Structure 1
Amino acid sequence: MSDQQKIRTSVEIYGHTYKMVGSETSGHMRLVASMVDEKMREFHAMNPSLDSSKLAVLTAVNATNDYLKLKEQVEQLEFELRKLKG
């Protein structure tokens, strides 16, 4: 992807500003950042002693776990759909 096709946007996550670059819309990138920020704040409320690095890792582990569960569900649904089609 060339630089001209990349979208750049600034987002705030857990009190820090980050410049994001990608092929998604600015709105999508802001939504992702908002969800990460929300999850980090949720984990901080449950574990106030964790620093931002540990909160970030905990958030990444949680997001990856959610992703893997959803991927497994999609694969199961695709399998069931193939069975129904014949």
Structure 2
Amino acid sequence: MTDKNRTKVEIYGQQYTIIGTDPASHIHLVASLVDKKMHEMRSMNASLDTNNLAVLTAVNAVHDYLILKEQFELLEKQLQHLKE
């Protein structure tokens, strides 16, 4: 059984304890990127409350993830064709 780490982070002024198997340095990086994205989105729309800001940040993160996933899959297909 894999041991889980408890990592304390701050995102948008709020303290969180993240429990998982990833190294603390990775969790801190993720939290830092989420915090940065929330501040960027807030600067574009100061009227957003924290809940809406969090949801929009999540939507943007998943959007970026899906684009990168599609690009990765395309590159995998291209690489596969080169191997054939």
TM-score (norm 2): 0.97
RMSD between aligned residues? 0.8
Report % sequence identity.
57
Match of 2:44 among 43, 46, 49: 46
5+ residue gaps in structure 2?
Answer: none
Question: How many Å separate the matches in 2 of 1:51 and 1:70?
Answer: 29
Shift of 1:14: 0.3
Which AA in structure 2 matches 1:72? E
**One-letter amino acid of the counterpart of residue 9, structure 1:** T
Structure 1 runs, 4 residues or longer, greater than 4 Å off: none
Compute the displacement of 1:68 (Å).
Answer: 0.3
1:32 aligns with 2:27: no
Deviation at 1:8, TM superposition (A): 0.8
1:74 aligns with one of 72, 77, 81: 72
CA distances 1:4-47 after superposition (whole Å, capped 9, x unpaired)? x1011100000000000111100100000000000000011110
| Counterpart check, 1:63 vs 2:61 | yes
- Structure-1-length-normalised TM-score: 0.95
Aligned residue-pair number: 84
CA separation in 2, counterparts of 1:12 and 1:58? 18
